[in-house]
Amino acid sequence: MFDLGLAPLEYLGVGWALILAAGIFGVLALVAFKHISSQRRIKAVKDRIKGHLIAIRIFQDDLRVVGSSIVKIVLRNFQYLTLNFGPFIPLAVPFVFVVAQFVVRYAYAPAALTENPAAQLAGAGTMLEVRLEPESAARIKELTVTLPAGVVAMSPLVRIPSEGRAFQEIAATQSGVHEIRVALGAEAAETKLFCAGDASLRAMQPRRVNNRHWYDLTDPNHWPVLWPAEAGFDAGSAFASVAIAYPSRDLGWLPGGEGGILVTFVVASMLFGVAALKPLRVQI
C-alpha cells in the first residue's frame, strides 16, 4: 500500500514525497479528530476562556473579578487540554505505523563500498551488532557469523557474555543486498539483510528484532512495528536483535536520519493540518 501510494509522489523527489505524504496524513488525522472528539464542548470551553479574558480586560481595576477570571481560565485550560488530548491517543497508533514506513524508506543509505579492506584502519567499515535475549545471554560464546561473498570481516567477532552481545566490523566490497547469517551452535540460523554500494532496495532498515518485544515499554527501539521492512524473529528465538549501523541518507535541504524524518513528518503534518482547520471547520 505504501509502495503504491508513495511511488507517484517520489517523481517530485524524496523530500517532496515525504512532505506531501505527511501533509495528507495530517489532513486525514484532522478529519478523524473531528469525528472522534467533542467539537461542541471544545468550542464551548474556548468561548468561556475568551469570555474570562474579556472580563479581565474590562474589569482590570477590580482585583476580585480579575483574580476569579484567572483561576477560571486555568481550570478551563485543563478542561480544554483533556478534551483535545483524549482523541489524540487513538490517532497515535496510525502515526507510529506511518512514521515507521517513512523511516525505513528515507532515513538510511546503503553502506559504502570499501576498497582493499585489509589496508583500512579500524572504523572504516560498518558495525554489526548481535544481541541475545536475557535468558540466552550466556550462549553468546556459541555465536557464529557467516558473511556472504562480497562482504568481509575487518575485525574479529568480539563477544560480551555478561551482556549477551557481540560486535564485528564488516565491509562490503561488492554492491548488492547481502544476506548475513548468525547462528548459535547447531540451531537454525537467522539472517539479516545488508545493503551496500548502489544496491536498490525500496525499504531498508538497520535492525531486525524479535517479535516478542511488541509490548516491551522498557525498550521501544526493539518494537517490531518500528521495523517493518524485514520480518521479526519468532518469539521463541534466542536472538533479540541483529543490527547494522547504516549511514543516514542525504535528503538535501531536509534533515536526514531517523530524527530528521520524524521532525519533517510532524512539522509538515501540523502545517497542512492548520491550513485545513477552517475549510474543514474543525475545532481544536
Q: Please give the share of the chain, as a percent, with pLDDT higher than 90.
A: 58
78-126 tens-digit pLDDT: 988 888 888 888 888 889 889 999 999 999 999 998 887 776 777 788 9
3-state DSSP helix/strand/coil % of the chain, to nearest 5: 50, 20, 30
Average pLDDT over residues 132-159: 93
Return the C-alpha torsion angle 144, 148, 149, 153, nearest 10.
-40
pLDDT band at residue 203, thresholds of 50, 70 and 90?
A: confident
- Cα(44)–Cα(83) distance, integer angstroms: 11
**φ and ψ at residue 259, rounded to 5 degrees:** -60, -40
Mean pLDDT, all residues of the chain: 89
Which SS3 state, helix, strand or coil, does residue 186 take? coil
Indicate whether 244 pLDDT > 80: yes
Burial of 22 (0-12, 13-18, 19+ CB in 10 A): buried
Q: Is the pLDDT score of 220 beyond 80?
A: no
Question: Contact, 99 vs 237, CB < 8 A?
Answer: no
Tens digit of pLDDT for each residue in 158-201?
A: 999 999 999 999 999 999 999 999 999 877 789 999 999 887 77
**Per-residue pLDDT, 54:** 93
Q: Decide if pLDDT at 245 tops 80.
A: yes
SS3 of residue 168 by DSSP:
strand
Look at residue 196 in the predicted model and tell me its pLDDT.
Answer: 93
Q: Which of 198, 201, 219 is nearest to 210 (CA)?
A: 219
Please give the pLDDT value at position 217.
Answer: 67
| pTM, full prediction | 0.80
